[in-house]
C-alpha cells in the first residue's frame, strides 16, 4: 500500500458541513442499543461479590452454600480464572483486578461472582458466599502512601528509575524525569520566582452508561461477547488471553456507548462474565450497578504536585520545575509520567525539569480519563503561571504569548514541534469579546492553556460499494462522539458523492482486521485516514471498471467529482460515468467493488487549547457559579464542526465538574463514602452556562485533510482557568481541587483572619 498521508491543502465539498448523524434518530427515540439492551434466550444474570475492605488477605472463600441455592448455575472465584498471562505484568494486573487472587486491594475489589436464573437469586447467592478476610492496614492518600511508615500494598515492588537500586520495597513503583537545560542556573537568572504545592482529588469519568455485557461461551470453545466498550478489538485480546481462547474464536461486538472518556479502555467485568458463562454453559448478562462503577471502575489519579517557575522582569521564563505524584490504585501505572510530559508542553523553555512518581494506594485501579494526567499538571502549572504574571505585573495572556511554544520549539518532553496552535489560541483569546466583557462584584475572570499529545495507531477499514451505488463503510473504531458522521463525510468527499449515500457502521472483531481502541483522540484522525485510503483504493477499481466499460486504458481514466472521466483528445467523445453507473455494471465487469485499508496512522498532530472562564463567588458561603465560558482550540480541520464543538463543550463541562465539586471521598476505614451521583456531584444542566467555542484550523501536516484529534484537550485547561477566575474574583489562590464551597469558604475565612490580625 503506497498511501500518501501528507496534507494536500485541497478544498472541500462535504468535509466541514454539518449533516445529521446516522445514529441520531435511534438515540433520540430510544431505539439505539446500548450495552444493557442486548439479550439472549436462556441468559443468566451475573453478579459480583466485592470486598468491603480496602486491604485484606483473602484466607478462604466458601461458595458451597451459594452453589446449593436453587436457581444458581455457576459460582466462580479467582480459581476459575487461572493465570495464563505468562509473565505479562500488565495483563496479570488486569486479571487480578477482574478477580482478586490473594488479596483484596481496595473497597469494591471483586472476590467472587455468581450466575443465576434471576437478579434476586443472584443477590441472595452473593450473601451466601463466605469470605474469610485478614484485614490489613491500608492507605488511600497519595502523599501518605509515599511515607516510609505507610502500609505496603505490594512487597514485590521496588521503585524503578532511581540512580541506586533500592533495597526496600515501596509504594512508589517508578520515578521518571523529563526536561532539558539547567534549572538551577535558570532560577539564578530569574527576577521573580513562584513556588507552590497543589493537590487534586480523584475523579471518575462519570459515564452515564454503566459497564454492561452479555457473554456466551459455546460448547465448541468459541465465544461471543456483546459489550459497551471503547475498543472491542482490545477487549477481544484481553479476554482471549485471560480465558485461554484463540482471538479469532472470540467475536466481540461493541454496542452504542453511553460515555467512556477513557474508562472503557480495559476490561473489568467481561472476563468474569465469560468465565461464568463457560462454567454455567449458558449466556450470562452482567451489568454493573452505579455503586460498582464508582467503587471498582474508572477513576483518574489523585495528585500532589509542587511547581516552581522563575521569570525575568521582562516576562521571559528562565526556568520551570515540577514534581508530580500521581496515585495509580493498587497496580503500577504511568500516570505521573504523562503528567511530567505534559506539564510544561505549552511553553518554550530553556531550562525545564519535571519528575514523576507513580504511587500505589488502596483505591481502584486508575484508568485513563480524557487527556489522562494532563488536567492536574495544567492546574498546577497554569495556576503558578498566572500568579507569576501577577507578581511581575504583566497581563497573564501576554505573559503566555511571550513564552508560548512555536514551530521548531523543543518540547519539554523531548520532540521538536511542527506547526502548532498554542500561539494562535492565545491570540484568539486576547482578541475575543469575552475578554473585554464587564464583570460585577465578586466576579472574576480566569484563563488557562492546555496541551494533549493525540494518538494515531493501528486502523483497518472497509468500504463497499453496492450495486445501487450507495456506500457502506465499516470501521473498527468505536464511535464515541459522532465519528460515523465524520467518516461518512470523508468517504463522500473522497468519492465525490453525497453524504446521504454513505452509511457507516462499527464492525465486529470478526469482520475487520485489528483496530486500536478509540482513545488518544484517535477515532476520527486515524479512521478518516484509513477511510481516505480505502476510498482511494475503491476509486482505483472504479477507474479500472470504467476503462473496461469504455474499452480504453485505465491510465486514461481519471476520477473527478464522483465520476470516471476519460482523459486525452482521443477519448473526447466519451461522456462521464458516474459511480452509480459503474456500480450497476459491476456484476459484468469483475464483481463487487470495494476498497480496503490497513495502516498505522502516524503523525497525530499535537493539540492546544486556551479557555476563558467567568465565575461568581458568594463570599458568605463559598458557593460558585460559572457565568460564562469560552473554549478556543485548534482542530487541524474540523470534519464535522458540530461534533468538534460538542467535544470542546463536553471536555469543558467535565473539567468544570472536576474543578468545583467532583471527588472521591474515602472514610478512615478506607471505604468510598460517595459511590453514587447524589454525592459524587457532576454538574447538572442548570449548573452550566452555554459553553462558547471557537474552532481554529492549523492543518496537521501528517493528515491528507489536516485533521488533528479534538476529543481530549478540552478537559485540560478548565481546572486552572476556574482556579484563576476564583483568585481574581475573591483574592484567594485555591491550591486544592475540587474548589468545593467548604474549601473556598475556609480559604476566605483564613484570608479574613489574616487581614484582621
Partner 1 sequence: MRYIRPQSMEDAVGLLAGAAGPAAILAGGSDLLVRMKGGFVEPELIVDIKAIAGLSDITETADGFRIGAAVPCAVLGENAALKKAWPGVVEAAKLIGSKQVQGRCTIVGNLCNASPAADSVPALVAAGAKAVVAGPGGKRTIAVESVPTGPGKTSLAKGEIIEAILLDKRPPHAGDAYQRFIPRTEMDIAVVSAGVNLTVGDNGVVKAARVAVGAAAPTVLLVEEAAQVLIGSKLDEATLERLAKICSGACRPIDDKRGTIEFRRKVAGVLAKRVAAIAYERAGGK
Helix (H, G, I), strand (E, B) or coil at 627: strand
Comparison of 277 and 661: residue with beta carbon closer to partner 1: 661
Cα gap 554→387, rounded to integer Å = 66
Gap between the Cα atoms of 334 and 44, Å rounded:
38
Q: How far is the CB of 74 from partner 1 (least distance, A)?
A: 22
Going by DSSP bridges, is the β-strand pair 284-287/103-104 parallel, antiparallel, or unpaired? unpaired
Task: Provide the grid cell at 230.
Answer: 471503547
Residue (409 or 740) nearer to partner 1, CB: 740
* CB-nearer residue toward partner 1: 472 or 623: 623
Nearer to partner 1, 255 or 661 (CB): 661
Contact 504, 21 (CB under 8 A): no
Closest to partner 1 by CB, 175 vs 625, is 625
Minimum Å gap between C-beta 47 and partner 1 is 11
Of 309, 293, 221, give the one whose Cα is nearest residue 261: 293
**Which residue matches cell numbers 505507610?**
150
Nearer to partner 1, 13 or 674 (CB): 674
3-class secondary structure, 399: helix
Q: Which is nearer to partner 1, 2 or 756 (CB)?
A: 756
Taking the complex as a whole, how short is the minimal distance between the CB of residue 439 and partner 1, in angstroms? 21
Nearer to partner 1, 1 or 678 (CB): 678
Sheet holding 443-452, edge to edge: 443-452, 607-617, 624-634, 691-696
Q: How far, CA to CA in Å, does 685 sit from each of 654, 679, 712?
A: 12, 16, 21
Bridge partners (DSSP) of residue 60 are: 132
Burial tier of 376 (Cβ tally within 10 Å: 0-12, 13-18, 19+): buried
Smaller CB distance to partner 1: residue 197 or 621? 621
Residue 98 beta carbon to partner 1: minimum distance, rounded to whole angstroms: 23
Cell representation of residue 438? 464587564
Cβ of residue 659: shortest distance to partner 1, in angstroms?
12
Beta carbons within 10 angstroms of residue 578's beta carbon: 18
End-to-end CA distance of the chain: 75
SS3 614: strand
DSSP string for 150-204: SPPS-TT---BS-SS--SS--SEEEEEEEEES-HHHHHHT-SEEEEEEEEE----
Of the two residues 406 and 673, which places its CB atom closer to partner 1 in the complex?
Answer: 673
What backbone torsions phi and psi does residue 354 show, to the nearest 5 degrees? -130, 140
Q: Among residues 149 and 686, whose Cβ is nearest to partner 1?
A: 686
Cβ closer to partner 1: 224 or 663?
Answer: 663
Do the Cβ atoms of 476 and 459 come closer than 8 Å? yes
Cell of residue 126, nine digits: 452473593
Distance (Å) of CA 528 to CA 395, 639, 705: 40, 9, 9
CB of 616 to partner 1, least distance (A): 13
Output 427 or 687, the one with its CB closest to partner 1.
687
In the complex with partner 1, the residue whose CB is nearer, 330 or 622, is 622
What is the enclosing helix (H) or strand (E) of 429? helix 422-430
**CA pair distance 427, 720, nearest whole angstrom:** 19
Which CB atom, from 124 or from 633, has the smaller least distance to partner 1? 124
- 45: which 3 cell numbers? 444474570
Alpha-carbon gap, residue 660 to 719, rounded angstroms: 8
Q: Tell me how far, at minimum, the Cβ of 624 lies from partner 1, in Å.
A: 9
Give the angle 232-235-240 at the CA atoms, nearest 5°.
125
Among residues 119 and 600, whose Cβ is nearest to partner 1?
A: 119
Which 3 state secondary structure label does DSSP give 250?
strand
Q: How far is the CB of 731 from partner 1 (least distance, A)?
A: 19
Task: Please name the residue ranges forming H helices in 599-714.
Answer: 641-660
336: which 3 cell numbers?
505521573
Q: H or E segment at 325?
A: strand 317-327
Shortest distance, position 45 Cβ to partner 1, whole Å:
15
Contact 295, 364 (CB under 8 A): yes
CA distances from 354 to 312, 323, 360, 368, 457 (A): 21, 6, 20, 21, 27
CA 107 to chain CA centroid, Å, is: 24
Question: What span, in angstroms and rounded, lies between the C-alpha atoms of 549 and 564?
Answer: 11
Binding site for partner 1 (CB under 8 A): 123, 291, 620-623, 660-661, 665, 673-674, 678-679, 681, 683-684, 686-687, 740-742, 745-746, 749
Reading the block at residue 406, the C-alpha cell is 512555536
Task: Please state the closest distance from residue 741 (CB atom) to partner 1, in A.
Answer: 6
Cβ 306 to partner 1 shortest distance, Å: 26
CA angle, 301 then 307 then 312, to 5°: 150
Nearest distance from residue 685's CB to partner 1, in Å?
A: 9
Q: How far is the CB of 658 from partner 1 (least distance, A)?
A: 13
- Minimum Å distance from CB 207 to partner 1? 18
Angle (CA) 225-237-255 rounded to 5° is 35
Q: Report the C-alpha gap between 98 and 582 in whole angstroms.
A: 52
Nearer CB in complex with partner 1: 201/493: 201
Smallest distance from the beta carbon of 535 to partner 1, in angstroms? 46
What minimum distance in Å lies between the beta carbon of 752 and partner 1? 11
The least CB distance from residue 744 to partner 1, in Å, is 10
Amino acid at each position: 500500500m503506497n498511501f500518501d498521508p501528507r496534507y494536500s491543502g485541497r478544498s472541500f465539498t462535504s468535509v466541514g458541513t454539518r449533516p445529521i448523524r446516522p445514529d441520531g434518530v435511534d438515540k433520540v427515540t430510544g431505539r439505539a442499543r446500548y450495552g444493557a439492551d442486548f439479550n439472549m434466550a436462556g441468559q443468566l444474570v451475573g453478579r459480583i461479590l466485592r470486598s468491603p475492605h480496602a486491604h485484606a488477605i483473602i484466607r478462604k472463600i466458601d461458595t458451597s452454600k451459594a452453589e446449593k441455592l436453587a436457581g444458581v448455575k455457576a459460582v466462580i472465584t479467582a480459581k476459575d480464572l487461572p493465570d495464563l498471562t505468562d509473565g505479562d505484568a500488565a495483563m496479570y494486573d488486569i486479571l487480578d483486578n477482574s478477580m482478586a487472587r490473594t488479596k483484596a486491594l481496595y473497597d469494591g475489589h471483586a472476590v467472587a461472582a455468581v450466575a443465576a436464573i434471576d437478579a434476586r437469586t443472584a443477590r441472595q447467592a452473593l450473601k451466601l458466599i463466605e469470605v474469610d478476610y485478614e484485614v490489613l492496614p491500608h492507605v488511600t492518600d497519595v502523599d501518605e502512601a509515599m511515607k516510609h511508615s505507610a502500609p505496603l500494598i505490594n512487597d514485590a515492588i521496588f521503585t524503578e528509575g532511581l540512580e541506586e537500586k533500592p533495597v526496600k520495597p515501596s509504594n512508589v513503583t517508578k520515578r521518571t524525569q523529563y526536561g532539558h537545560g539547567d534549572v538551577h542556573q535558570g532560577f539564578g537568572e530569574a527576577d521573580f520566582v513562584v513556588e507552590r504545592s497543589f493537590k487534586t482529588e480523584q475523579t471518575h469519568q462519570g459515564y452515564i452508561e454503566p459497564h454492561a455485557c452479555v457473554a456466551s461461551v459455546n460448547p465448541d470453545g468459541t465465544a461471543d461477547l456483546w459489550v459497551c466498550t471503547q475498543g472491542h478489538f482490545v477487549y477481544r485480546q484481553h479476554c482471549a488471553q485471560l480465558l485461554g481462547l484463540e482471538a479469532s474464536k472470540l467475536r466481540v461486538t461493541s454496542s452504542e456507548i453511553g460515555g467512556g472518556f477513557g474508562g472503557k479502555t480495559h476490561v473489568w467485568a467481561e472476563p468474569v462474565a465469560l468465565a461464568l458463562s463457560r462454567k454455567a454453559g449458558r449466556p450470562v448478562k452482567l451489568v454493573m450497578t452505579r455503586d460498582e462503577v464508582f467503587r471498582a471502575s474508572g477513576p483518574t489519579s489523585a495528585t500532589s504536585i509542587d511547581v516552581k517557575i522563575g521569570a525575568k522582569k521582562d516576562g521571559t521564563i528562565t526556568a520551570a520545575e515540577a514534581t508530580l505524584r500521581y496515585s495509580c490504585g493498587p497496580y503500577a501505572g504511568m500516570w505521573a509520567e504523562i503528567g511530567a510530559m505534559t506539564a510544561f508542553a505549552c511553553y518554550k523553555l530553556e531550562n525545564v525539569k519535571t519528575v514523576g512518581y507513580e504511587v500505589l494506594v488502596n483505591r481502584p485501579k486508575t484508568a485513563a480519563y480524557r487527556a489522562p494526567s494532563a488536567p492536574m499538571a495544567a492546574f498546577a502549572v497554569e495556576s503558578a503561571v498566572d500568579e507569576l504574571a501577577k507578581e511581575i505585573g504583566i497581563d497573564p495572556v501576554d505573559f503566555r504569548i511571550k513564552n508560548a511554544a512555536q514551530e521548531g520549539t523543543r518540547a519539554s518532553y523531548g520532540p521538536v514541534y511542527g506547526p502548532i496552535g498554542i500561539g494562535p489560541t492565545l491570540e484568539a483569546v486576547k482578541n475575543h469579546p469575552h475578554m473585554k466583557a464587564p464583570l460585577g462584584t465578586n466576579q472574576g475572570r480566569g484563563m488557562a492553556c492546555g496541551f494533549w499529545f493525540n494518538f494515531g495507531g493501528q486502523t483497518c477499514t472497509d468500504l463497499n460499494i453496492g450495486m445501487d451505488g450507495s456506500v457502506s463503510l465499516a470501521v473498527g473504531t468505536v464511535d464515541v462522539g459522532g465519528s460515523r458522521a465524520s467518516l461518512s463525510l470523508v468517504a463522500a468527499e473522497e468519492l465525490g458523492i453525497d453524504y446521504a449515500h454513505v452509511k457507516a457502521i462499527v464492525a465486529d472483531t470478526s469482520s475487520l482486521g485489528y483496530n486500536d481502541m478509540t482513545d488518544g483522540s484517535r477515532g476520527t484522525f486515524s479512521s478518516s485516514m484509513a477511510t481516505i485510503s480505502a476510498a482511494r483504493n475503491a476509486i482505483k477499481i472504479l477507474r479500472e471498471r470504467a476503462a473496461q466499460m469504455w474499452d480504453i486504458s485505465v491510465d486514461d481514466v481519471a476520477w473527478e467529482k464522483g465520476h470516471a472521466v476519460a482523459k486525452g483528445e482521443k477519448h473526447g467523445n466519451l461522456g462521464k460515468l458516474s459511480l452509480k453507473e459503474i456500480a450497476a455494471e459491476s456484476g459484468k465487469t469483475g464483481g463487487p467493488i470495494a476498497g480496503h485499508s490497513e495502516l498505522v496512522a502516524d503523525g497525530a498532530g499535537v493539540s492546544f487549547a486556551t479557555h476563558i472562564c467567568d465565575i461568581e463567588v458568594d463570599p458568605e458561603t463559598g458557593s460558585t457559579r460559572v457565568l460564562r465560558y469560552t473554549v478556543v482550540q485548534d482542530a487541524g480541520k474540523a470534519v464535522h464542526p458540530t461534533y468538534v464543538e460538542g467535544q470542546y463543550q463536553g471536555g469543558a463541562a467535565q473539567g468544570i465538574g472536576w474543578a468545583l465539586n467532583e471527588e472521591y471521598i474515602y472514610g478512615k476505614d478506607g471505604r468510598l463514602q460517595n459511590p453514587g451521583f447524589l454525592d459524587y456531584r457532576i454538574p447538572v444542566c442548570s449548573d452550566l452556562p452555554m459553553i462558547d467555542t471557537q474552532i481554529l484550523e492549523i492543518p496537521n501536516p501528517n493528515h491528507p485533510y489536516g485533521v488533528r484529534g479534538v476529543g481530549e484537550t478540552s478537559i485540560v485547561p478548565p481546572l486552572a482557568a476556574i482556579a484563576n477566575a476564583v483568585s481574581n474574583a475573591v483574592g484567594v489562590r485555591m491550591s486544592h481541587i475540587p474548589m468545593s464551597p467548604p474549601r473556598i469558604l475556609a480559604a476566605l475565612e483564613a484570608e479574613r483572619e489574616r487581614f484582621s490580625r
